Amino acid sequence: MSTLSSLAADPLPWNGHRLAAQLVASGPTRVWHSAFEEDLVAEIPTSTPADVAAAAQRTRAAQQDWAERPVADRQRVLLDFHDAVLDHREALTDLLQYEGGKARLSAAEEVLHLAMTARYYGRTARELLHDRRGRGLLPLLTRIDERLVPKGLVGIIAPWNYPLSPTISDGLAALVAGNGVLLKPDLQTPYVALAAVDLLHEVGLPPDLWTVVYGSGQRVGAELIGQVDYLCFTGSTATGRIVAQQCAERLIGCSLELGGKNPLLVLDDADVERAAAGAVRACFGNAGQLCVSTERIFVAERLRARFTAAFVAKTKALRLGRRLDYDADMGGLVTTDQLNRVRAHVEDAREKGAEVLTGGRARPDLGPLVYEPTVLSGVSEEMDCFAEETFGPVVSIFGVGSDAEAVAGANDSAYGLNASVWTSDPERGRRVAARLRCGTVNVNEAYGATFGSIDAPMGGMKSSGLGRRQGPEGLLRFVESQAIGTQSLIPLAPSLGLSPGTFVAGFTGVLRVLKAVRRA
């Protein structure tokens, strides 16, 4: 049986004891199993409700001093963290692979995305958070100052599929806005988040400003929601609805990135080879365990045969397996439950008449959780994979007769997270993109154009969630707007002997003058 400290031939800068020191946890230990290496296990202490309350109390105390520090000081921590993440890129990538079974490229992309986010908010926070002078009611007599005040304590309930980048990125935006952070990583993927928090402390984050608790959603997640002032949740739509109800009970805000049944549209002027290569990235990155990955392809009928042949050929050429190098294009799934869900969706479709063009089986010879990238044709509404999110390496192809039919098919979903449009005419692609009910749409790219551009807000429409991460919106969700009004010389009420009627008449004249001089 291997231990965490022997994850790689070269020693990692973290060991199990050092990472466990980041936890506030006094409950029973839980056995953790690697999704990558079958004999790699570890014991992790879990948190009790009392631990969650204690962590929240400690972080609230630290947050008060942090909020009083200049924004430039907070930015410096993020910029130093950017460098630390890049310096420890290989070790973080190893942890992501061992915890989640990812292919190395998928893991490395997550590390790089975290560094980009740290740099973005490290450079833009002062501009986004500066105080603003508003327009007072009466020119020169009424002054309005707007301040952006930290929420206080931000809670994060993290996903298992991307436990580093969105998880820590949400926390970075909360930190630079002046908040403290209380994090619950997923049961399957705690170590890489703990390593990132450890790095933050290494570059100067004050003690207790970011605390971590560990345990089940029912035991620890609900208690966390009861302690915080704002919540970030990434996960399934079903769980997101429960989380939203719990937040509503406390009248606290939340941002929810939830499920997707993301479409990819191949228009009739698309470059078939380029679109097919992009579709492979769109569908099978991180073995389809990516909120923005594609599960439905709508291809113009006149290109359908050529596109399908090229797409299937490129899918078959993917290299599968578990390797700590870049020789595998796709790794495994994260848990047995996830593998069983993928298997069930494919078998249901097959039994009801769908054709499996490639894939369609588990590959235990390559790893206990490896499932072949699978392309389906002839999927219909009675099949589970038609509308339900599979969240695995499975995609269905549909032929369409026009752009309008493609848009209608893409929008015919309860979800609206991400979409992809392929065309030789970028302007046409943007016109089609504007008709799609998705929070992000990428033209001639799978998801990287929006996901990798940190200035682009990211989030879902419909049942895919609430709120946005990335961009200015990703920072401003963590602050409250406070208006301070100062009145000079005269009150905003009848005075100086004016009767109420005379006051109203005079004020009416003032309003007409303000409109005439084009004042807002």
In this structure, is residue 282 part of a structural domain?
yes
Residue whose entry in the numeric block shows the structure tokens 């429960």? 242
Over residues 475-486, the pLDDT tens digits come to 999 999 999 999
372: annotated active-site residue: no
* Average pLDDT across the chain, whole number: 95
Q: Residue 16 domain-assigned?
A: no
pLDDT, position 7: 41
| CB distance 296 to 262 below 8 Å | yes
Phi and psi at residue 266, in whole multiples of 5°? -105, 105
Q: Which of 385, 430, 437, 386 is nearest to 415 (CA)?
A: 437
- Is the confidence at residue 91, as pLDDT, over 70? yes
Same domain, 135 and 219: yes
Q: Does the residue 489 lie in any domain?
A: no
Is the pTM higher than 0.85? yes
Asked if the structure places residue 30 within a domain, the reply is no
- Domain match, 292 and 371 both: yes
Q: Check residue 425 and give its pLDDT.
A: 98
Instruction: Please name which of 470, 169, 426 lies closest in space to residue 274, comparing C-alpha atoms.
Output: 426
In a domain, 4, yes or no: no
Kindly state whether residues 159 and 306 are assigned to the same domain.
no
- CATH code assigned at 78: 3.40.605.10
- Residues 43-74: tens digit of each pLDDT: 899 999 999 999 999 999 999 999 999 999 99
Q: Which residues pair with 149 in a beta bridge?
A: 480
Percentage of the chain exceeding pLDDT 90: 92
Same-domain status, 237 and 351: no
Which region among 2-6, 96-100, 214-218 has the lowest average model confidence (pLDDT)? 2-6
63 contacts 210 by C-beta, under 8 angstroms? no
In sign, the C-alpha dihedral spanning 364, 365, 368, 373 is negative
Domain that holds residue 306: 262-463
Shared domain check, 277 and 152: no
Model confidence over 447-491: pLDDT tens digits? Answer: 999 999 999 999 999 999 999 999 999 999 999 999 999 999 999
Dihedral, CA atoms, 190, 192, 194, 197, nearest 10 degrees? -140
- On whether both 307 and 220 belong to a single domain, the answer is no
| φ/ψ of residue 33, rounded to 5 | -120, 135
Please check the confidence at residue 332 and state whether its pLDDT lies above 90: yes
Q: What is the pLDDT of residues 483-512, one digit of tens each?
A: 999 999 999 999 989 999 999 999 999 999
Distance CA 448, CA 292 (A): 10
Looking at the structure, tell me whether residues 234 and 266 fall in a common domain.
no
Q: How far apart are CA 334 and CA 163, in angstroms?
A: 12
In order of 240, 281, 332, the CA distances from 311 in angstroms are 34, 11, 21
Catalytic residue among 99, 110, 257, 389: 257
Alpha-carbon distance 127 to 114, whole Å?
21
Domain count, the chain: 2
For residue 10, being part of any structural domain is answered with no
User: Which pLDDT band, with edges at 50, 70 and 90, does 20 fall under?
Assistant: confident
CATH number at residue 459: 3.40.309.10
Residue 1 pLDDT more than 90?
no
* 35 HSE (CA, 13 A, CB side): 29
User: Which tokens go with 136?
Assistant: 């007072």
Is 438 an active-site residue? no
Contacts of 275 (CB under 8 A, 6+ apart): 266, 307, 422
Ranges of beta strands (E only) in 87-229 are 132-134, 142-150, 153-157, 180-184, 210-212
Quote the pLDDT of residue 8: 39
Backbone angles phi, psi at 349, to 5 degrees: -65, -40
Q: Are 340 and 361 in contact (CB under 8 A)?
A: no
Mean pLDDT of 340-363: 98
How far is C-alpha 189 from the geometric centre of its chain's CA atoms? 15
Full DSSP string of 503-516: HHHHHHHHHHHHHH
- Whether residue 114 is predicted with pLDDT greater than 50 in this model: the reply is yes
Query: Tell me, what's the pLDDT at 21?
Result: 78
User: Running DSSP on this structure, what letter comes out for residue 286?
Assistant: G
| Any domain includes 437 | yes
Is the sign of the CA dihedral 349, 353, 359, 365 positive or negative? positive
Model confidence pLDDT, tens digit, residues 354-370: 999 999 999 999 988 99
- Weakest mean pLDDT among 18-27, 126-135, 191-200, 350-359: 18-27
Which residues, listed in sequence order, are joined to residue 183 by a DSSP beta bridge? 156, 212
Catalytic hit among 247, 254, 283, 291: 291
* Residue 83 covered by a domain: yes
